[in-house]
């Protein structure tokens, strides 16, 4: 049996490995109680959380004091169609428009401008830039969110954009590893599959991520996409072969790895939700996103606590994850 002090530490560590969403413009009493009980490591904001500058700033302050450790406060601020903040905040152009200029200095300045507005609100992490290559014209979910249709174009523009974020104090998180650009399915709605060879994946999808790893981007997000060349059974988020084997070992990545939203249909429509959470942690995911159902996130913390108490390998994964999280924070 693990001693009570170790169990208490383990529970706190697991809470730090979850990023959650809340329902509206301010924390309800019920939400605050759950956040205080489970010590979530981060929060993600959506349009439903953003009314005006004063309200957003107050919500961010409330979130930052709702847990026992400094939380990540994140948003998807890509520009273009993925834009959460209301007027008077700037609606920045889509990545594809920035990419078409071929001007890395402009990309840097756009990233810096995005960061300047996020910093004012108390946000500290942006789930951007998109490092996917827009190589499939029928892709329903990436399109102009990508900086270009070739890996060189994406790397040349996305990385300066990312550095612009960092220069103004925002943590960039590149997505969606190992690449969502060639899918013909929206992973919010179903489980996509990319049936490309290893050679083709390394030549196109992996190239921007390789450059990002070499540039030491501090965070990456995985894709809920199956790549049979790597792993036939599981999407990247649940695959040790992809997260640990390819990203950590082959590409040498040392930063924090976030999952995409674990409540998306690519996961919930094909896998048991609880088992998926355990599989993701075993695969090497450091932070799990639960963007909609706070009680579900609390249940996942309890599940992982139960599993980890009698599984030393899972505990080792948790120790590794919390060390990476603490270093980034």
Which residues are part of the catalytic machinery? Answer: 188, 260
> What does the alpha-carbon distance between residue 47 and residue 91 come to, in Å, rounded to a whole number?
13
**CA distance linking residue 284 with residue 247, whole number of Å:** 10
Nearest to 84 by CA among 171, 131, 25: 25
Are 204 and 133 spatial neighbours (Cβ–Cβ below 8 Å)?
yes
Q: What is the DSSP-derived secondary structure letter of residue 192? A: -
* CB 125, CB 42: distance < 8 Å: yes
**Non-local CB neighbours of 11 within 8 Å, separated by 6+ positions:** 39, 301, 305
Contact 53, 76 (CB under 8 A): no
Residue 82: phi and psi, rounded to 5, are -100, 85
* DSSP element (H, E) containing 240: helix 240-240
Contacts of residue 172, Cβ cutoff 8 Å, sequence gap at least 6: 111, 126, 128, 129, 162, 165, 166, 217, 218, 219
Q: How far is CA 117 from the centre of its chain?
A: 20
User: In sequence order, what are the beta bridge partners of 20?
Assistant: 43, 290
């Amino acid at each position: 049996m693990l001693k009570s002090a170790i169990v208490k530490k383990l529970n706190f560590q697991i809470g730090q490995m979850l990023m959650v969403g809340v329902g509206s413009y301010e924390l309800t009493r019920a939400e605050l109680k759950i956040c205080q009980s489970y010590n979530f490591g981060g929060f993600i904001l959506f349009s439903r959380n953003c009314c005006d500058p004063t309200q957003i700033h107050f919500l961010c302050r409330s979130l930052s004091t709702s847990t026992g450790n400094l939380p990540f406060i994140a948003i998807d601020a890509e520009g273009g169609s993925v834009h959460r903040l209301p007027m008077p905040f700037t609606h920045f152009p889509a990545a594809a428009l920035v990419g078409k200029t071929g001007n890395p200095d402009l990309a840097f300045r756009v990233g810096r401008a995005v960061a300047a507005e996020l910093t004012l609100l108390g946000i500290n992490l942006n789930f951007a830039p998109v490092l996917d290559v827009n190589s499939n014209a029928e892709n329903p979910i990436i399109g102009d969110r990508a900086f270009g249709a070739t890996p060189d174009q994406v790397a040349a523009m996305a990385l300066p954009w990312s550095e612009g974020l960092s220069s103004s104090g925002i943590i960039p998180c590149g997505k969606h590893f190992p690449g969502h650009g060639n899918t013909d399915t929206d992973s919010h709605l179903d489980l996509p599959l990319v049936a490309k060879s290893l050679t083709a994946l390394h030549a196109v999808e992996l190239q921007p991520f390789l450059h990002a790893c070499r540039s030491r981007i501090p965070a990456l997000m995985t894709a809920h996409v199956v790549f049979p060349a790597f792993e036939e059974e599981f999407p990247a988020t649940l695959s040790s072969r992809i997260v640990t084997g390819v990203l950590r070992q082959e590409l040498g990545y040392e930063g924090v790895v976030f999952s995409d939203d674990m409540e998306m249909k690519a996961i919930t429509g094909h896998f048991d939700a609880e088992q998926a959470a355990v599989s993701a942690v075993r695969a090497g995911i450091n932070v799990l996103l639960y963007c909609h159902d706070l009680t579900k996130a609390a249940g996942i913390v309890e599940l992982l606590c139960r599993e980890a108490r009698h599984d030393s390998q899972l505990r080792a994964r948790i120790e590794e994850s919390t060390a990476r999280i603490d270093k980034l924070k």
